[in-house]
Structure 1
Amino acid sequence: MKTITFIGNGNMALSIAKGLKNSYKIEVVGRDRKKLESFEEKLGVHVKKSLLDNFNIEDKNILLCVKPANVEEVSKKLQGRAEVLYSVLAGTGIQKLKDHFNTSAVVRAMPNLAASVGKSMTTLTGDTTYKEEAQTLFNSIGSTRWLANEKEIDIATALAGSGPAYLALIAESLSDGAVKQGLKREDAMAIMRGLFDGFGELIQEIHPALLKDGVMSPGGTTAAGYAALEKGNVRNACIEAIEEAYKKAVKL
């Protein structure tokens, strides 16, 4: 079983590790021994734990999960030359990673928190020599899409990487709407979860516009609710959310 070495032990690293733990051996590197032990406990399997200072990355498959602002600091604490560096850092370009880390290849990846349940939509770009291996690795936590360049992955970061937060807002708002009209909170949440579960399957095969048209009968309840969403400028707000998140990814 191949070993993946995580540098960083935050929420994203844990989410990805949960998806990989049955297919790969997990090694995790961090600054604090207690946090590394907590990572192992939450993951539920034994992992090899190492402190960051003077850690040797020679010939390792590295999965970089630190904060973008800490790239330079973290890189100075490492020794050796990695076989490949997979980075999940938003807005951190391949050239910057090559400038700071000693590695034979770099692949940028943008998974999302659904990695922990094996449902991440992960976008990838970088050294095409590792395209197949990168897809195999990240297919272990969901599905993947290889993109042509870094501009595209920064846009994808705004969509797939940040998207769970946007959908969470929609889910919460729809539930609140049902509660406002008199539905019990517990019932509203259960119905909302069922809605998202079914919709997730439908959207794989049917274009969103066709899904909408299939539900919206003339003069019906859906048409009335949809008109309220358009009045609230929800469509444009979603478009602008992607634009602003993309701009932020570029600035990071």
Structure 2
Amino acid sequence: MKIGVYGAGNMGSAIIEGLIRSKEVQPSDLFIKGGKSQTAENLQRKLGFTLVEQEERLAETTLILIAVHPDGVLPILDQLPEKITKEKIPIVSVAAGVDLPDMTAILGEDYPIAHCIPNTPVRVNEGVLGISYNPLITPEAKQVIDRTLAQLGTMIEIDESLLEVVSAVAGSAPAFVDIFIEALADSAVLHGVNRQLAYQIVEQMIKGTAALALQSGQHPAVLKDAVTSPGGTTIKGVAALEKNGLRYAVIEAVNETLK
């Protein structure tokens, strides 16, 4: 299956690398239309996908992903070559702030289009992808989209009105987690652990903790209680986090992201 991608910036490159890393998509099956910068060209030298200059080449694809800044989505849709729209090649926009009604107003109510908000771990096939579909999308078009994006991580179909929340929690929160990783590593360095080892310990701990939560299906509070002995060191650390407002800080971070 050939896939077209508009854009090779932060999210576009993450999607491209994730698709290739999945082994389900060969570099030669990716047709990338870059912008004015040299990002796409530099990435092409590294990964070997097909770089296209003429948008008509995207008519050779089975699915088109639009991974550009929000203000670029509608102009792209408005100028799509007739070959693409006539064949009704499914289109997925991964830009926040451009809703399905905005896109169908250009392409038509029955055009197979979806709005997806992924996060950067799609680069390593561990992403979270919130997705909403045009209500009139055909089962065949939806299958094409799902089969492709499932290579990048966990897909969550959700009402489009909640996509911004998914974006804040799954899309922006990796930055919050990175800060938490850095802070934990700093604490280890403070007590004599070298920096590289500190990051290795913390990153593996977070990976393992997430895997345990996913595989056990237990509530996070249950898992927390399992490692907090009465009067022990861990519960003292938990109390310090509560005293310093960790929960409130996290909730406020998401609130600010949604403004």
TM bucket by the smaller chain?
Answer: 0.7 to 0.9
Q: Which amino acid aligns with 1:212?
A: K
Q: In the alignment, which residue of structure 1 is the partner of 2:30?
A: 26
- 2:205 aligns to what? 195
**Is 1:62 aligned to residue 64 of structure 2?**
yes
- Which residue number in structure 2 is paired with residue 79 of structure 1? 81
Which residue in 2 is equivalent to 1:133?
144
1:105 aligns with 2:112: yes
Q: Is the 8 A contact 1:55 1:77 kept in 2?
A: no
CA RMSD of aligned residues (A): 2.2
Q: What amino acid maps onto 2:147 in structure 1?
A: T
Secondary structure at the aligned position of 2:121 is classed as helix
Distance 1:33 1:235, change over 3 A: closer
Structure 1 CA distance for aligned equivalents of residues 78 and 161 of structure 2: 27
| Residue pairs, 1:113-152, within 5 angstroms | 113-127=120-134, 128-129=137-138, 130-147=141-158, 149-152=159-162
2:66–2:73 Cα contact (<8 Å) kept: no
* Partners of 2:33 and 2:51 within 8 A in 1: yes
SS of the residue 1:86 aligns to: strand
User: Which whole-Å CA distance do the structure 2 matches of 1:237 and 1:131 have between them?
Assistant: 38
Q: Hey, what does 1:250 align to over in structure 2? A: none
- CA distance in 1: counterparts of 2:60 and 2:197, whole angstroms: 52
Distance 2:228 2:38 in 1: 54
CA shift in 2, pair 1:100/1:180, >3 Å: farther
Whether 1:161 and 2:171 are equivalent positions in the alignment is: yes
Out of 92, 96, 101, the position equivalent to 2:102 is 96
Equivalent position of 2:195 in the other structure: 185
Q: If the length of structure 1 is used for normalisation, what is the TM-score?
A: 0.87
Change (3 A) 1:59 1:49: closer
Give deviations 1:221-249, integer Å, cap 9, x for gaps. Answer: 111111111111110111122222233xx
Matched, 1:38 2:58: no
Query: Which of the pair is proportionally richer in strand?
Result: 1
| Cα deviation, residue 37, structure 1 | 2.2
Runs of at least 5 residues in structure 2 that lack an aligned partner in the other structure: none
Identity %: 29
Post-superposition shift, 1:122?
1.1
Sort the Cα spacing of 1:188 and 1:35 in 2 relative to 1 into closer, same or farther, 3 A: closer
Alpha-carbon distance between aligned partners in 2 of 1:23 and 1:161, rounded to the nearest angstrom? 24
Distance in structure 2 (CA, Å) of the matches to 1:197 and 1:34: 34
Q: How does 1:197-236 map to 2 (within 5 A)?
A: 197-204=207-214, 205=216, 206-236=218-248
- 2:186 is matched with 176
Tell me the TM-score normalized by structure 2: 0.85
Instruction: For residues 104-129 of structure 1, give each alpha carbon's deviation from its aligned partner in whole angstroms, at most 9, with x where no partner exists.
Output: 22111111111111111111111353
Q: CA distance change for structure 1 residues 121 and 226 in 2, over 3 Å: closer, same or farther?
A: same
Alignment coverage as a number of residue pairs = 242
After TM superposition, give the deviation of residue 186 of structure 1 in Å: 2.4
User: Partners of 1:208 and 1:12 in 2: how far apart?
Assistant: 30
